[in-house]
Amino acid sequence: MIIRPTTLDDWQTLKAIRLAALRDAPTAFGVTHASAAQYTDAQWQARAAGSDKAEYLLAFDGEQAVGIVAGVINGQVEYNLIAMWVQPEYRGRGVAGQLIAAIKERALARGHRRIVLDVAPENVSAATLYQRQGFEFLPEWEPLESHPHISVQKMAWAG
């Protein structure tokens, strides 16, 4: 498994895997499939090139992208883990752990000793994964931007 940041040349791969994630788990992300599907090719290219706010990492099995994670500096100047997803047939194979390890490494390299994320506690598999990776629940809740009727809880990891 190769984990690496996206480049401009990866924009179509990034678009495909991000849209697949939004179709597979529509209430797990802060953006909807419908809104992401409206992004222009130039917007996907900016995301892949890292000139957007977030930096994306992809997990590859050969030439096939099988997982995604991103990091972005949020409004509180925290390194925020977003867009975490692994293709269903690759779950349980350690891909998610590798993606999280890679994003931790990137955050630390940029001077961020703390990473935060939001997760719906009802999403037991995701919450359990994050806890196994050293994240702890914080007493902070907010509505999920894409689905305001869903409350997500903040988790944090300190390196």
Which one is the CATH code of 2-158: 3.40.50.150, 3.90.1300.10, 3.40.630.30, 3.30.365.10?
3.40.630.30
**Region 56-83: what's the mean pLDDT?**
92
For the chain, where are the E strands, in sequence order?
Answer: 2-5, 55-61, 64-73, 79-86, 114-119, 136-144, 147-158
Nearest to 126, CA basis, from 111, 113, 144: 144
Global pTM value: 0.92
Q: In the predicted model, is pLDDT for residue 77 greater than 90?
A: no
Residue 152 confidence class, pLDDT cut points 50, 70, 90? confident
**Region 106-116: what's the mean pLDDT?**
92
Q: In the predicted model, is pLDDT for residue 151 greater than 90?
A: no
Q: In the predicted model, is pLDDT for residue 50 greater than 90?
A: no
75: phi then psi, degrees, rounded to nearest 5? -65, -20
Who has greater pLDDT, 73 or 59?
59
pLDDT mean across residues, the chain? 92
Residue 89's pLDDT is what? 96
Domain parsing of the chain, residue ranges: 2-158
Residue 34 confidence class, pLDDT cut points 50, 70, 90? very high
Q: pLDDT of 20-30, one tens digit each? A: 999 999 888 88
